[in-house]
């Protein structure tokens, strides 16, 4: 079938799923949280999804739950050989979503360089490695979406590594959009506020943290993984075909207010426990 150059393609309505059906998608970090919600949403749009995760058994269970046409794979975003194998095995793809990430808490003057690097390795260097190899396998007109964070624009005491990594991810997204744009590939990011996921469970268990987040969110609630997945689906759909290099704040308006005092809540808990 003749391929039509991206600049000659006609725009399609979001309600027309014919162009989305049968597209190949890879969701890195897809076995839980935002990644799993994203994999589910893309599958509902007719995409064939490869769920890639460090937890390969979890990925296999998730893929089996979606149906026989979907696949699972092991990936460690800090290991370039692992990421390269993932995308080589996936072959030509239309969508790549990178949800891999984690954080730690500690004041700069107390944090070890190893703890700082561990977050950077996953959240920023890992994102670079995913972008590098996804970019080699995305078809013309494809879409790459990174999951960033409100911390990419709002600093938080005790979260230096995560804030630095997510701020760097915003710029990486823009540079990748410049470099991959000539092939019609769009690169964007979604920056969630507080969302209940396994990643945020530890923070949510600290008394006062969730309440502080909600009090500083204009719409007065925490987010859901589905809120973020819906934004990712939009960024991968024909309706966003003229959008690239953007970091979408999906946070209920939390970026309009102050960031919660997470470290303060943690320190109070430590004092009460000692």
Q: What dihedral do alpha carbons 28, 170, 139, 71 form, nearest 10°? A: 10
Cα-to-chain-centroid distance, residue 4: 30
Q: What is the DSSP string of 60-90?
A: HHHHHHH-TT-EEEE--TT-HHHHHHHHHHH
Phi, psi of 219 (to 5 degrees): -85, 0
- The CA distance from 207 to 186, in Å, is 41
Which residue among 162, 213, 234, 259 is the active-site one?
A: 162
**Residue pair 74/54 in contact by the 8 Å Cβ criterion:** yes
Catalytic residue at 259?
Answer: no
| Catalytically active residues, by annotation | 162
């Amino acid at each position: 079938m003749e391929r039509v150059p991206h600049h000659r393609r006609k725009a399609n309505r979001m309600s027309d799923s014919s162009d989305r059906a049968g597209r190949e998608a890879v969701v890195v970090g897809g076995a839980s949280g935002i990644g799993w919600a994203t994999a589910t949403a893309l599958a509902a749009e007719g995409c064939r999804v490869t769920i890639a995760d460090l937890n390969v058994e979890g990925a296999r269970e998730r893929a089996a739950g979606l149906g026989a046409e979907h696949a699972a794979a092991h990936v460690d975003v800090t290991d370039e050989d692992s990421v390269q194998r993932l995308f080589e095995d996936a072959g030509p793809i239309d969508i790549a979503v990178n949800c891999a990430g984690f954080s730690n808490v500690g004041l700069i003057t107390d944090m070890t360089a190893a703890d700082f690097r561990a977050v950077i390795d996953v959240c920023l260097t890992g994102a670079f490695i995913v972008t590098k190899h996804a970019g080699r396998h995305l078809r013309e007109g494809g879409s790459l979406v990174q999951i960033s964070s409100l911390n990419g624009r709002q600093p938080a005491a005790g979260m230096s590594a995560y804030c630095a990594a997510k701020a760097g991810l915003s710029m990486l997204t823009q540079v990748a959009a410049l470099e991959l744009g000539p092939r019609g590939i769009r690169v964007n990011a979604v920056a969630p506020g507080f969302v209940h996921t396994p990643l945020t469970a530890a923070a949510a268990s600290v008394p006062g943290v969730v309440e502080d987040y909600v009090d500083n969110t204009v719409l007065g609630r925490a987010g859901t993984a589905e809120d973020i997945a819906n934004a990712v689906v939009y960024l991968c759909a024909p309706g966003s075909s003229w959008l690239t290099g953007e970091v979408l704040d999906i946070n209920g308006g939390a970026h309009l207010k102050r960031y919660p005092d997470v470290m303060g809540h943690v320190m109070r808990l430590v004092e009460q426990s000692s």
